[in-house]
């Protein structure tokens, strides 16, 4: 039995069956490359779901983690640690916000942001203003409360009843949002570009309009930048594309270079609502993950990766748009920077992903029709050329098979 088969058997017997896994087991990563158990090399255009933005095992991240692991791994949040304090300062300097809180994941960052919103609303807006409006097709995480926030009924159904406090509106429809605002509304929470929902960007005028509506009605605007943050869309944070500032952003994926670290950042007047005892975490903001995150932020800057994401992303999107003109299977191309989606006109996403994997390229998918590209921000135009070529071939193969 080869190694992959062995792992498949172990998984089947001992791990709950919640993941539809790709038929590959990776053992090594470096930059934009991955190697599987048989030593086969792949080009990674998924980056572990938009996580390994600076590339796999970046030497500066590895060194930061190694040095920290040898000094101190954990002490809990009863004590001060330098990496956490420095990271908090750095996040404030990079964003609209003043204060942050560290969590272990995107879902947890969102949970914390919602708790902060509730407390802020109780203190400043009124006891009854606990409701948060989110969008259909949104994705905010897998905890019960974030499942309630996630506007995807098919994901929610098996787990009802869900915690109350969230209502959903269609994205990019300002009048629908306006109509949904009631005496109970305390905040609006949106992804600047919906990720897990299938790469659906907020339109420029829409998000600006949402900000105005929030100001008019005294609502907080929470942006879930768990996927769009840290250069993914060609800006440090995606809200920068819209010329607006949110009241809270939530972050995770790209922050830790692969280590689990999430955060939410708020303006001072909102952050003030939290007092000692209101929120906490055992592991969050530990010295190892914060050291990794500091290294990531340093690399984004020193290697100009955000500018690279903008330029290479634009090049990639142009290539995909060109493909849309010649390949009837391609129905739509969406996204910004290195967060791009291709909607197929048929349910062929998984076969395309598999054939790309056979060509040694890792890409992602959402549902049955949407291909998703979230490469590390270090990729260049010739990587993109290679992917476009393989994708063109793959789409032709798949077309040939369905005819």
Ligand X SMILES: *Cc1c(COP(=O)(O)O)cnc(C)c1O
Binding site for ligand X (CB under 6 A): 105-107, 110, 139-141, 191, 195-196, 224, 226-227, 252-253
Q: Which residue is nearest to ligand X (CB)?
A: 106
Closer to ligand X at the Cβ: 126 or 170?
Answer: 170
Query: Is the separation of the CB atoms in 187 and 133 below 8 Å?
Result: yes
Shortest spacing between CB 50 and ligand X, in angstroms: 7
Q: Label the pairing between strands 131-135 and 99-103.
A: unpaired
Shortest spacing between CB 280 and ligand X, in angstroms: 18
Closer to ligand X at the Cβ: 36 or 247?
Answer: 247
Closer to ligand X at the Cβ: 112 or 209?
Answer: 112
Q: Label the pairing between strands 330-336 and 220-224.
A: unpaired
Shortest spacing between CB 110 and ligand X, in angstroms: 6
Strand order in the sheet with 99-103: 99-103, 262-266, 248-251, 220-224, 185-190, 131-135, 166-169
Closer to ligand X at the Cβ: 51 or 387?
Answer: 51
Written as six digits, the tokens of 120 are: 């802020």
The closest of 383, 385, 368, 376 to 331, measured between CA atoms, is 368
Shortest spacing between CB 146 and ligand X, in angstroms: 7
Written as six digits, the tokens of 391 are: 């994708």
The closest of 56, 49, 47, 58 to 295, measured between CA atoms, is 58
Q: How far apart (Å, rounded) are the C-alpha atoms in residues 376 and 231? A: 10
Shortest spacing between CB 197 and ligand X, in angstroms: 9
Integer angstrom CA distances of residue 25 from 123, 191, 251: 50, 31, 28
Shortest spacing between CB 152 and ligand X, in angstroms: 12
Shortest spacing between CB 373 and ligand X, in angstroms: 14
Closer to ligand X at the Cβ: 55 or 262?
Answer: 262
Q: How far apart (Å, rounded) are the C-alpha atoms in residues 317 and 321? A: 6
253 catalytic residue (yes or no): yes
* Active-site residue identified among 139, 166, 230, 264: 139
* Active-site residue identified among 44, 224, 247, 383: 224
Q: How far apart (Å, rounded) are the C-alpha atoms in residues 376 and 385? A: 15
Query: Is the separation of the CB atoms in 347 and 272 below 8 Å?
Result: no
* Active-site residue identified among 253, 336, 355, 369: 253
Query: Is the separation of the CB atoms in 213 and 244 below 8 Å?
Result: no
Shortest spacing between CB 237 and ligand X, in angstroms: 13
Closer to ligand X at the Cβ: 256 or 319?
Answer: 256
Instruction: Determine phi and psi for 362, rounding to 5 degrees.
Output: -95, 120
Q: How far apart (Å, rounded) are the C-alpha atoms in residues 166 and 229? A: 23
Q: Label the pairing between strands 262-266 and 364-366.
A: unpaired
Classify residue 400 by burial, with Cβ atoms within 10 Å: 0-12, 13-18, 19+. Answer: exposed
Closer to ligand X at the Cβ: 319 or 364?
Answer: 364
The closest of 35, 12, 83 to 296, measured between CA atoms, is 83
Closer to ligand X at the Cβ: 253 or 369?
Answer: 253
Integer angstrom CA distances of residue 143 from 108, 159, 248: 8, 11, 20
Active site residues: 139, 224, 253
């Amino acid at each position: 039995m080869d190694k992959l088969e062995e792992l498949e058997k172990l998984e089947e017997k001992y791990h709950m069956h919640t993941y539809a896994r790709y038929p590959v087991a990776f053992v090594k990563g470096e930059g934009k490359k991955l190697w599987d158990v048989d030593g086969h090399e792949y080009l990674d255009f998924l980056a572990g779901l938009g996580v390994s933005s600076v590339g796999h095992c970046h030497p500066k991240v590895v060194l930061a983690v190694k040095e920290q692991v040898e000094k101190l791994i954990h002490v809990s949040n009863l004590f001060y640690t330098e990496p956490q304090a420095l990271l908090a300062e750095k996040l404030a300097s990079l964003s609209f916000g003043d204060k942050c809180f560290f969590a272990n994941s995107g879902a947890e960052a969102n949970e914390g942001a919602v708790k902060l919103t509730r407390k802020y609303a109780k203190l400043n807006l009124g006891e009854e203003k606990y409701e948060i409006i989110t969008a259909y097709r949104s994705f905010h995480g897998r905890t019960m409360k974030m499942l309630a926030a996630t506007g995807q009924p098919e994901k929610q159904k098996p787990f009802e009843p869900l915690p109350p406090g969230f209502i959903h509106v269609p994205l990019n429809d300002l009048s629908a949002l306006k109509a949904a605002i009631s005496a109970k509304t305390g905040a609006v929470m949106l992804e600047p570009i919906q990720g897990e929902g299938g790469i659906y960007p907020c339109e420029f005028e829409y998000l600006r309009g949402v900000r105005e509506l929030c100001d008019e009605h005294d609502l907080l605007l929470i942006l879930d930048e768990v996927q769009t943050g840290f250069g993914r869309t060609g800006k440090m944070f995606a809200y920068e594309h819209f010329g607006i500032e949110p009241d809270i952003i939530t972050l995770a994926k790209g922050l830790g270079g692969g280590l689990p670290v999430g955060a939410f950042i708020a303006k001072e007047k909102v952050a003030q609502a939290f007092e000692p005892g209101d929120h906490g975490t055992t592991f969050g903001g530990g010295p190892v993950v914060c050291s990794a995150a500091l290294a990531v932020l340093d690399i984004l800057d020193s290697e100009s990766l955000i500018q690279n994401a903008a330029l290479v992303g634009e090049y990639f999107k142009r290539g995909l748009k060109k493909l849309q003109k010649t390949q009837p299977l391609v129905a739509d191309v969406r996204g910004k920077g290195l967060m791009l989606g291709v909607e197929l006109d048929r349910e062929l996403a998984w076969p395309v992903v598999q054939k790309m994997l056979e060509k040694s390229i890792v890409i992602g998918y959402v549902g049955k029709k949407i291909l998703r590209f979230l490469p590390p921000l270090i990729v260049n135009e010739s990587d993109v050329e290679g992917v476009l070529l393989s994708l063109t071939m793959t789409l032709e193969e798949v077309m040939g098979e369905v005819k």
